Amino acid sequence: MHCLWLTRKYPRPANSGELIYSEGLVSAFAEAGAEVVAVAHDNDEHPVANRPAEEEYVDRDRVRWVLGEPRLGGRLMSLFTRLPSDSYRLMKGGPKDDLERLLADREWDVVVADHAALGWALPQLKAARREGRFSRLVYVSHNHEAKIRREIAANSFSSLPKRIAAQWDAEKYAWQENALCAEADLITAITETELAVYREQFPDREYLCLTPGYRGHRDPDRQITEETPRRVLMCGSFEWIAKRINLERFLENSAKTFADMGVEMQIVGKADESFRREMKERFPAVEFTGRVPDVTPYLKEARFGLIVEEFGGGFKLKALEYVFHRLPLAGLRHAVDGMPLESPDDYLLMNTLPSLAREIAAAIDDVDRLNRMSRVSYEKCATAFEWEDRGRALHDAVSGILQSPPAR
């Protein structure tokens, strides 16, 4: 099976949910037997260095990478195009030319568009498909972008002109995602909930749910004791505006409650420095670590891991970090979609942020309950999130559509 895989950025270091998902899935797909050439921008944090000028590919985990420039262009000119700002930036700096060359060089069995932002490539892909350069198209969804982008625009704290621009960008994202789905033969989603939304819109496509896998550290024997700090923790990347809005809303609803109850709160992960300073000024009792080389020491020194996104959809990969470090999970009910757990024995879930903060504060000293929750959650998830299973499932699904007539 010869696959041309389009994704946003070289996913190493895989230090955000999006990169972890892309890296795990493309690698597992290749390990399942596909021959994969991946096109992306180089990683702006750690560009692939010391490549000979004549060396075209970066080989890693059976995937050959063709990389464009590490830095993306500006967003402003996207306002005057039909492309969302992310897509406008992504097609610059090499990937568009690389895609055109690779489509012309050989025939492919399947092309994978890994993220809705890769919709910039649709005109080239449609033309190449008409010419017989590839057979099937797969759209790998990370979120239902039409829904999440509209939510971001509606909940933005920005000025009126920026909110209007965000609303326009959200509509362009919706158009682009729908165009990808209309062209795709197979659509994957990260949760069954999002899969159902796609299926309702495009009932004649093939579908596959691909929750993330987990290859990180596991601590099956970890125990919470009376000496464990009375601390709750939220880890992740807080650079995307949706993550920042969710974090700010949570702190507004919970920081005082935790401070009044003597519960420490720690936010661990990379964020824009100006945003971090602003949050620290507004919520002085909350510790913001910024980027850390390893999240494990922080997970070991907390009693709850938080999943508190009010909007955004998708699967929260930090939930797996919590579970496999034996850290009890607490969050909003709708924010933990895709986990094979049941409340209240497995995790602490509430419907609103104020009620969640109160319940966490009430439960944080019940060490026996915390250890029981973390043990049961670990056991239920122990074999449920293997990347190898996801790679084989995607390989089988692609093999199936290759043997069937096109969905279009």
In this structure, are 24 and 113 located in the same domain?
yes
Give the 3-state secondary structure of residue 267.
strand
Say if 107 falls within a structural domain. yes
The C-alpha atoms of residue 383 and residue 372 are separated, in whole angstroms, by 19
In this structure, are 393 and 298 located in the same domain?
no
Tell me which amino acid residue 197 is.
V
Length of the chain equals: 408
Omega within 30 of 0 (cis) for the link into 344: yes
Say if 220 falls within a structural domain. no
The C-alpha atoms of residue 353 and residue 252 are separated, in whole angstroms, by 9
Q: Which residues contact residue 249 at a Cβ distance below 8 angstroms, ignoring those fewer than 6 apart?
A: 155, 310, 353
In this structure, are 91 and 28 located in the same domain?
yes
Tell me the pLDDT tens digit for each residue of 257-286. Answer: 999 999 999 999 988 888 889 999 999 999
Q: What is the mean pLDDT of residues 159-186?
A: 89
Structure confidence at residue 316 (pLDDT): 87
Cβ atoms within 10 A of the Cβ of 156, count? Answer: 17
> Under a CB-based contact definition with an 8 Å cutoff, are residues 166 and 157 in contact?
no
In this structure, are 51 and 184 located in the same domain?
yes
Tell me the pLDDT tens digit for each residue of 209-255. Answer: 999 999 999 999 999 999 999 999 999 888 878 888 889 989 998 99
Is it the case that residue 406 has pLDDT exceeding 80? no
The two tokens of residue 332 are 């909003």
Write out the residue range of the structural domain in which residue 123 sits: 2-213+386-402
Q: What is the mean pLDDT of residues 287-304?
A: 93
In this structure, are 304 and 331 located in the same domain?
yes
> How many CA atoms within 13 Å lie on the side-chain side of 387?
16
Phi, psi (rounded to 5 degrees) for 332:
-85, 145
In this structure, are 339 and 393 located in the same domain?
no
Say if 153 falls within a structural domain. yes
Structure confidence at residue 366 (pLDDT): 97
In this structure, are 279 and 169 located in the same domain?
no
Q: Which of 17-21, 60-64, 79-83 has the highest mean pLDDT?
A: 17-21
pLDDT band at 54, cuts 50/70/90? very low
Is it the case that residue 55 has pLDDT exceeding 60? no
In this structure, are 168 and 236 located in the same domain?
no
Q: Which helix (H) or strand (E) holds 58?
A: strand 58-60
The C-alpha atoms of residue 121 and residue 256 are separated, in whole angstroms, by 47
Identify the weakest region by mean pLDDT among 110-114, 261-265, 310-314, 338-342: 310-314
Q: CA angle, 236 as apex, 235 and 237 as ends, to 5°?
A: 145
Span between the terminal Cα atoms of the chain, in Å: 21
Say if 127 falls within a structural domain. yes
Is it the case that residue 172 has pLDDT exceeding 50? yes
In this structure, are 334 and 347 located in the same domain?
yes
**Residue 67 bridge partners (DSSP):** 40
Say if 407 falls within a structural domain. no
Sign of the four-CA dihedral 188, 189, 190, 192: negative
In this structure, are 238 and 307 located in the same domain?
yes
Q: Looking at residue 33, which CATH number applies to its domain?
A: 3.40.50.2000
Structure confidence at residue 177 (pLDDT): 95
Say if 219 falls within a structural domain. no
Is it the case that residue 187 has pLDDT exceeding 80? yes
In this structure, are 53 and 188 located in the same domain?
yes
The two tokens of residue 391 are 């790679």
Q: CA angle, 8 as apex, 6 and 9 as ends, to 5°?
A: 110
Total of domains in the chain: 2
Q: What is the mean pLDDT of residues 87-115?
A: 93
Q: What is the mean pLDDT of residues 3-16?
A: 91
Q: What is the mean pLDDT of residues 178-189?
A: 96
Say if 373 falls within a structural domain. yes
Tell me the pLDDT tens digit for each residue of 333-343. Answer: 888 888 998 87
Structure confidence at residue 343 (pLDDT): 78
Structure confidence at residue 50 (pLDDT): 46
In this structure, are 315 and 371 located in the same domain?
yes
> CA nearest 2: which of 186, 114, 134, 96?
134
Say if 225 falls within a structural domain. no
The C-alpha atoms of residue 13 and residue 180 are separated, in whole angstroms, by 28
